[in-house]
Chains A and B, each alone.
Chain A
Amino acid sequence: MIINHPLLGPRDAAEFVVLGDACLIDRPDGMNAASEEMHDYAYVRDNPAGEHRELWYHEQGDRSWLVVTRSTLTHDVIKVELARDVARARGRSR
């Protein structure tokens, strides 16, 4: 597979490490979250057959975390974003 890195252009997927669903960005605050909320965050996944937003890490590269939107049926990559931008857009800051 090829990941079109937003900063570095197309790179072979072998340079990356995959973590999983990009919902892992949405970490609840451990002091305030209900147990159920933290459980769902850590353990429950949509696991869609189709478009999937997922976290890839450019370990053999610039160490960017990316959010890759990819089809789990065809493996086609639809979009690649810097995870930091996605995180900010989802309201994460400090």
Chain B
Amino acid sequence: MNDDDRIEASLRRAFAPPDLTALHRRVAEAAARAEASAPTRSSTPWIAAAAFAAAAAAVLLLLRRDDAVPQVPDVAQVQHVAPDPGRSVGLRLAQLHAHAPALPTRTDGACLAEPPPAPGACVGDGPRFDPGDELEPLGECGGPGGPACDRATIPTPRLIHVRDRSGAELLVCIAPLQADPRPSLPDDAGLSIFRRELGGFVAYEITPLSEPLALARLVP
């Protein structure tokens, strides 16, 4: 037995994990309590997520016709973007192309189902998103180090897909202010858009709820 073997044998003696059965039991009990107190959610969350993504993508794709002038409030705080009956308003693709030149190459919304490769990997330039305890991250694309949004059907530099405790799924689109996509929705979309400016960025929350939840979680 050489020196390394002696040392390694000693480390194994000194640091071999003990029997942690009791710890596992305590964690399992705590998990069971958490499970019992958690709100009921869909048993197939990714199917629901994909369905939501497809629906949101379809809505926004309809809005990409450049046949009307965007009407978006230009204020610094969170603001509801009013429905725009009778008009569809396009995302400003030309401006977005300047930041994400490889726009959509796929139409399956796969980007939304692809989490970033590591926690925080999509957080770098631009606002940081802190989901807190109220929101559950489902997917993100477009941040530094993460999957690009050019695989998504929604042409925005960065997308965050989250779910709240009630199961409502929300999309947050973030873009540089000078490339404001200015989305809006027809009044029968069943979704609302809220807008917030943070420094040199603008964020939109697309939500089935009557008030924004995710925009307040963005930290400049």
Is the pairing of A and B real? Answer: no
Name B's A-contacting residues (CB within 8 A). none
Name A's B-contacting residues (CB within 8 A). none
